[in-house]
Amino acid sequence: MKDLFPGYYSPSKEEFSELWQQCIFIFDTNVLLNFYEYHNQTREEYLQVLEAIQERLWIPHQVALEYHRNRIDRIIQAESKFDSAKKLLDKIIEETTKQLLDNFNSQCFPSEAVQQMIEDVKKVFDTFGDKLVSCKEELIKINGTDYIRDKITDLFREKIGESPANQKELDEIYLEGEQRYKIFRPPGFGDDKKNQDKDNNYIHQNLVFKKAYGDLILWKQILKEVKSKSLTHIIFITGDNKPDWWRREHGKTIGPRPELVEEILEAGASLFHMYTPDNFLRYAKDSLQLEIAEKSIQQVKEVSVSNSWSEPELDADFSRQSSDSDHYDLSNIQGLVAASNYAVNNAVSIASIASAAIAASPASMIAKQLSITNIASPASMIAKQLSITNIASPASMIAKQLSVIEMTILTEQQRFIKSLNQVVNNENNRLAQMVKQVAIPNMNHLLISSVNKLVDNNNNNARLSENNVQEDNDSSADSNFSEQAESSEDSSF
């Protein structure tokens, strides 16, 4: 059976041992670029692993090319993540201060006590800010010395595959790729839509490269190396999480796509396996008997997951099965940055869905009803007032769905608050409570902002009479809104 269907069998324990002792280790571009986002300890421990297997390292020419083309962008991206986190902290401080002044005024508490609370909050967030600055200082600067590039250059000296011989070789890959992508044969079909991008093509050494076929080019170069060098044991490490590399069943990653295993075995290999960057580091720790901290492995995982989400070519179909903020390790500042960005992005996404759902209903009716509503109230109050305004109109349905959407927002925010509680120590637990008081109204504000935009765009329609709205439109509005709201509940962000 295994001889007939090798792609569906993982290596045995004995084969894994043999693989690690004899294989060539091949790395994808994203693995090398991720070094620019690791903190010093993680970076040094990962480089320690590469040094231990230096004689068995190899990368395709396409990987080396993509590394050099994307190096500057990754340096800028790493720095921008810390800038975004700093802005988020500043915003939370501002909103927390406002909430304390609004809710703990002198009528209830002495002004000195309120001021002391504000100062305590700022001290805690200043500590977070100091950690951000410290971690940011570890990053490589665009115009500074890039010791990461120097180290990678040394490690892979004379361990880079041949470049394409001519344009004809590349064009043949493109033609084959068109046919492979049509039948979803891996790898690379997840990048097919890059063919529509204006910047899909780029030139290197008078050869035209197409980004949509980057993965297929590097895969073809791996197959060529296996054939020409009679390589038999291959381990490929990639941070690319798309399903054109990995076989997934019911949300679980089983291993490399069976088609990839079969193709590389046909090229002459006898054992082949793939690892994500963090799993490679974990298995290297045991196989090579190296000292590697668990927090380093966790950070490698966080960076890999974060960059998988941020890639624009990832559709919902290609996203990770799990997207909870609990996926992050909040014991270090990098995890906090990633989780906070995740929570904010979720809030914006939910607010957008709410806005789109409202826009799908009769605008004149909604605008008129909202115009007599206290728009500064929380979403729950808006829902209540809407249902009172006209209980027989679509407003009652909208009120119900607004409440559902609000609960979805609260659920996402509570996950983030839970993560914050894991970060702060017992002395600062009150900070998490303060943030909780600020964050939930802020999330409601995102929804309210979306509604405000709708009202602004439909001021003229607000003058229309309710009698102008046909009963069949009311019925259609109820149905359309219900479907979209249900869609928002089922969506995974």
- Higher per-residue pLDDT: 119 or 56: 56
Q: Specify the pLDDT at position 129.
A: 73
At 22-36, the pLDDT tens digits run: 999 999 999 999 999
Q: Are 176 and 29 in the same domain?
A: yes
What band does 401 get if pLDDT is binned at 50, 70 and 90? low
Q: How many CB atoms lie within 10 A of CB 221?
A: 22
Q: Are 349 and 251 in the same domain?
A: no
What band does 446 get if pLDDT is binned at 50, 70 and 90? very low
Q: Specify the pLDDT at position 268.
A: 96
Domain for residue 328, yes or no?
Answer: yes
Domain for residue 66, yes or no?
Answer: yes
Domain for residue 200, yes or no?
Answer: yes
Q: Specify the pLDDT at position 100.
A: 72
Domain for residue 197, yes or no?
Answer: yes
Q: Are 284 and 334 in the same domain?
A: no
Counted residue by residue, the chain has a size of: 493
Q: Using CB atoms within 10 A of its CB, is residue 34 exposed (0-12), middle (13-18) or buried (19+)?
A: buried
Mean of pLDDT values over 290-297? 94
Q: Are 436 and 359 in the same domain?
A: yes
Q: Are 195 and 60 in the same domain?
A: yes
Q: Which domain holds residue 379?
A: 322-490
Domain for residue 130, yes or no?
Answer: no
- Residue corresponding to tokens 């950070």: 299
Q: Using CB atoms within 10 A of its CB, is residue 219 exposed (0-12), middle (13-18) or buried (19+)?
A: buried
Last residue of a domain, one of 301, 336, 361: 301
Mean pLDDT in the chain?
Answer: 73
What band does 84 get if pLDDT is binned at 50, 70 and 90? confident
Mean of pLDDT values over 370-396? 46
Q: Specify the pLDDT at position 86.
A: 75
What band does 108 get if pLDDT is binned at 50, 70 and 90? low
Q: Specify the pLDDT at position 382.
A: 52
Distances from the Cα of 341 to the Cαs of 318, 319, 433, 492, in angstroms?
A: 20, 17, 20, 16
Q: Are 343 and 443 in the same domain?
A: yes
Q: What one-letter code names the amino acid at 472?
A: D
Q: Are 250 and 357 in the same domain?
A: no
Does 410 have pLDDT greater than 70? no
- Residue corresponding to tokens 């039948």: 183
What band does 187 get if pLDDT is binned at 50, 70 and 90? very high
Does 457 have pLDDT greater than 70? no
Q: Are 336 and 428 in the same domain?
A: yes
At 154-163, the pLDDT tens digits run: 999 999 999 9
Q: What one-letter code names the amino acid at 139?
A: L
DSSP 55: G
Listing DSSP states for 177-229 in one string gives HHHHHHTTPSSSGGGGGGGGSTT-EEEETTEEEEGGGHHHHHHHHHHHHHHHH
Q: Are 58 and 183 in the same domain?
A: yes
Does 11 have pLDDT greater than 80? yes
Q: What one-letter code names the amino acid at 155?
A: L
Round to whole Å and give the CA distance between 48 and 20: 16
pTM, whole model, 2 decimals? 0.60
Domain for residue 129, yes or no?
Answer: no
Last residue of a domain, one of 241, 266, 301: 301
- Residues 408-447 as b/e (b if ≥16 CB within 10 A, e otherwise) read bbbebbebbbebbbebbeeebeebbebbbbbbbebbbbbb
Q: Specify the pLDDT at position 430.
A: 46
Q: Are 66 and 203 in the same domain?
A: yes
Number of domains in the chain: 2
Q: Specify the pLDDT at position 102.
A: 74
- Residue corresponding to tokens 């409570």: 433
